[in-house]
Amino acid sequence: MAVFFFLLASILTVWGLYVGFFVAPTDFQQGESYRIIFIHVPAAWMSMLIYLIMSFWAAIGLIMNTRLSSMMAHALAPTGALMTFIALWTGAFWGRPTWGAWWVWDARLTSELILLFLYIGYMALRASIEDPRRADRASAILALVGIVNVPIIYFSVQWWNTLHQGASVSLTKSPSMATSMLTGMLVMALAFWMYSIAVSLIRVRRIIRDREANAAWLSDSSGVQ
Amino acid sequence: MYKAFIFILRKELLLALRQKTDVVTVLFFFLIVSSLFPFAVGPDLNTLKIIGPGVVWVGALLCSLLALHRVFETDFSDGSLEYLVLSGEPLTVLVLAKIGSHWLITGLPVVIVAPLIGLQFGLSAGSLSLLLITLLLGTPVLSLMGSIGAALTLGVRGGAALTSILILPFYVPVLIFGAGAVVADLQGLSIEGHLSILIAMLCLSVALVPIAVANAIKIALE
């Protein structure tokens, strides 16, 4: 399964980057530097979405007392942190030529940074508790408390009048950008989806192996993928 | 229920009165941290006036963080936390009493001393009273959010450092709106929005945090 998603991710990335770098027209205001959005926007979307999915699985694990969902939440956290980091990093690269600063203390940037801290806190808490079941449940509580941050990031550009521009894409209005730009961005978003799914699946497999190392079913089928 | 709440509150306050060093240390920490800034930034009163509210707020935040490990850790290590869980009283109420006493012991003294620090930064009487109001609204939120971190890291190695990593993201909004209100007032802007958000955060955290903390304690004691 993971290989399939990886393949899909690579194909979509190639396609998306091709559309983004060669087909999409140059922006009349920002010149070529806007092309970073083909990585920035999908990463920012994923950073929030993965947090929601992670909290969802963590909550299921907490409420239903299931082990696999907690492992899934565990597997998603590093990918989410990576996406948050990419979003911040590419944003800094874009901000330097456009705003003239690497970093601005703007509501969206700040709340995205807080999201990164939340991911780090989640992973740190999990890493420092020895008993995996206790780690599952303690980190689930943390993830659920942190969920308040996601709507704040998402709506920060509407609630505060900030430097970071509002969304150019929405489900209800027609997008305010060229079609090829939109295609590139959506294809890249799909590619990031596939990558996240692939990596999380591989990671969750490792976690299962790690935690269930003594289980009979695992030792029987250790040669089979 | 009320009896248990009052009982725990009294017990904690009595303990704090018997061991005054805890309270005094936090206060001195607050004074020292905020007095460090004029040394670092320079004694220019105009600069100090601008950073004053922020410095007082950061000081209050660090004090709250410094004292967090005391909320549950001693009760956890001597086993009395288990009795609280087993007592049959609703754990959320007991937890709220513990957090409330933590605020009374470490939060309230800081709020009372804060205007003194504000004076050192050349804040006007209006700013000082506003600072007092925002701290009164905000420091309970700090105690509440912080206790989640304290409960999650009970008995975990590296607990104190871990607590600050877990909790600082949740402290940031309180800091932004708390210090932001005073700065906005200095610039002649309306502060109603800031205060409303602080009050909203206080109401939400009083209602929801005890549930999270009670669950975290149960997980820690399993």
- A21-58 residue pLDDT tens: 777 766 666 666 777 878 888 898 889 899 999 999 99
* Residue A114 resides in a domain: yes
d(C-alpha B11, C-alpha B24), whole Å: 19
The predicted-structure confidence for B150-194, as pLDDT tens digits, reads as follows 998 888 877 778 888 888 888 888 888 888 888 888 888 888 888
Per CB-CB distance under 8 Å, the chain A contacts of B150 are none
For residue A141, the enclosing domain spans 2-164+178-213
CA distance A101 to chain B (A): 21
CB B132 within 8 A of CB B177: no
B177 interface with A at CB cutoff 8 Å: no
CB A98 within 8 A of CB A33: yes
The one-letter code for the residue type at B23 is V
Residue A27: phi, psi to the nearest 5?
-75, 135
Q: Using the structure block, give the residue that is written with the tokens 């509440």.
A: B144
Cα dihedral sign, A93-A98-A101-A104: negative
Domain membership flag for residue A37: yes
Structural domains counted in chain A: 1
pLDDT the model gives residue A29: 64
- Rounded to 10°, the helix B125-152/B45-67 angle is 30
Determine, for residues A125 and B212 on separate chains, whether the beta-carbon distance falls below 8 Å: no
A223 within a domain of the structure (yes/no): no
Domain ranges, residue B92: 2-221
Question: Within the 98-117 window of chain A, which residues sit less than 8 Å (CB to CB) from chain B?
Answer: 110, 114, 117
- At A85, the pLDDT band (50, 70, 90 cuts) reads very high
Identity of the amino acid at B33: V
Which of A110, A124, A137 shows the shortest C-beta gap to B219?
A137
Q: Is B189 on the interface with A (CB under 8 A)?
A: no
- Note whether residue A113 is domain-resident: yes
**Crossing angle (nearest 10°) for helices A107-128 and B159-186:** 160
The confidence band for A18, taking pLDDT boundaries of 50, 70 and 90, is confident
Q: Domain for residue A219, yes or no?
A: no
User: For chain B, what is the domain count?
Assistant: 1
With CA atoms as reference, report the closest residue to B52 among B136, B114, B107, B106.
B114
CA of A68 vs chain B CAs: smallest distance (Å):
18
Compute how many other C-beta atoms are within 10 angstroms of the C-beta atom of residue B185.
19
Q: Compute the Cα dihedral for B1, B67, A133, A58 and give only its sign.
A: positive
DSSP one-letter string for B52-85? HHHHHHHHHHHHHHHHGGGTTHHHHHTTHHHHHH
Answer whether A134 touches B (CB < 8 Å). Answer: yes
Is A225 inside a domain boundary?
no
Position A92 scores a pLDDT of: 85
Q: Could A128 and B216 be called an inter-chain contact, meaning their C-beta atoms sit closer than 8 Å?
A: no
Q: Is B153 on the interface with A (CB under 8 A)?
A: yes
Contact B67, B26 (CB under 8 A): yes
Cβ-Cβ contacts under 8 Å, A134 against chain B: 219-220, 222
Cβ-nearest to A117 among B156, B169, B216: B169
Closest residue to B156, CB basis, from A128, A142, A149: A128
Query: What are A149's two structure tokens?
Result: 């941050």
